[in-house]
Structure 1
Amino acid sequence: MRACDLEDFAAEMFEPFARVDQRRWGAVYLRGLLLDGRRKSVEPMAARLGEDGNRQALANFITTSPWDAAHVRARLAWRMQQVIKPTALIVDDTGFLKDGDASACVARQYTGTAGKVTNCQAGVSLHLASDSASAAVDWRLFLPEGWDPASPKADPGKVARRTTCGIPPTSDTSRSGSLPWT
């Protein structure tokens, strides 16, 4: 993808953002996601971004800046529908292996990524697809029962960490069992 194409795409996706700095950091974040490198968390992404690698500003954009991820996803789905002209919807799950338990929604659960029950997060994504292209247009982080205070299998330690992880105290998991990725 050429730099000007990426800039145009970012401008289109983040156009509704109220502030110029939000639009700027949205574009930087998008560029960081597309750069080579295995880890896409703030620290390694910021290191790869060169002069735009302000770790604190990037982290602020991702974690505390007030913007609606659902609105950006809707814009993405609309744009990709025009480009891809999908003939199918694909629902996929992916496991994100974790060594510790500090990340949101980490639990011992089965993941095809490892081919076994292991410590991980589970994500579910929706893709628009045609014979020639596909694009993820929505995604959620699965909320394991241990993280759900309404579940009989709730783990008090995990329920207590919901606030630290940015999970609302009473997410409506009865409908979807999942949380938006941010």
Structure 2
Amino acid sequence: MEEIRPRLEAFAAEMLGSLPRRDQRAKGELYVRGLMLDGKRKSMQPMAERLGVDHQQLQQFVSSSTWDYAKVRERLARWAAAHIAPEAYAIDDVGFPKDGYDSPGVARMYCGALGACS
């Protein structure tokens, strides 16, 4: 991992350059590094263990930070077009069913991947 660290840092800086705060960019780089590490599970806790950090840092960056994902996605699409020339992009919105029947405040809804989520 150390041999690719400068390239990873440069990539993260380019992709996350639109984030207004330095701490957001640092957490974003940490998240990208976590995705690149070996390991089957790419969820927050296993990634944080491999990185040696508290998983809440990653969780807050992904789920409750105020950064604009559209700008990051646009930068990533431009990078991909320049470096790998993709013919198409596919963005998969993964559906997750409710956990149980008594989830307060969570309405039953349709989920394309699963049919009617319960």
Whole-Å Cα distance in 2 between the matches of residues 31 and 157 of structure 1?
37
Whole-Å Cα distance in 2 between the matches of residues 33 and 2 of structure 1?
14
1:141 matched to 2:86: no
Aligned to 1:20: 22
Identity across aligned pairs (percent)? 41
1:82 matched to 2:82: yes
Whole-Å Cα distance in 2 between the matches of residues 46 and 143 of structure 1?
24
Change in 2 beyond 3 A, CA 1:159/1:20: same
Whole-Å Cα distance in 1 between the matches of residues 19 and 72 of structure 2?
9
Identify which of 26, 50, 65 aligns with 1:48.
Answer: 50
SS at match of 2:48: helix
Structure (1 or 2) with the greater strand fraction: 1
Amino acid at match of 2:13: A
Give 1:41-120 correspondences, 5 Å limit: 41-50=43-52, 53-86=53-86, 88-89=87-88
| 1:120-141: CA deviation from partner (whole Å, max 9, x where unpaired) | xxxxxx1xxxxxxxxxxxx232
Q: TM-score, normalised by structure 1?
A: 0.50
CA RMSD of aligned residues (A): 2.7
Query: Cα offset for 1:41?
Result: 0.9
Q: What are structure 2's unaligned runs of at least 5 residues?
A: 114-118
Change in 2 beyond 3 A, CA 1:82/1:161: same
Where does structure 1 differ by over 2 angstroms across 4 or more consecutive aligned residues? 156-162
Query: Cα offset for 1:56?
Result: 1.8
- Larger RCO (alpha carbons 8 Å, 6+ apart): 2
Whole-Å Cα distance in 1 between the matches of residues 55 and 102 of structure 2?
29
Query: How many residues get paired?
Result: 106
Structure (1 or 2) with the greater helix fraction: 2
Query: Cα offset for 1:12?
Result: 0.4
Amino acid at match of 1:140: D
Q: TM-score, normalised by structure 2?
A: 0.75
Whole-Å Cα distance in 1 between the matches of residues 95 and 104 of structure 2?
11
Identify which of 152, 157, 161 aligns with 2:106.
Answer: 161
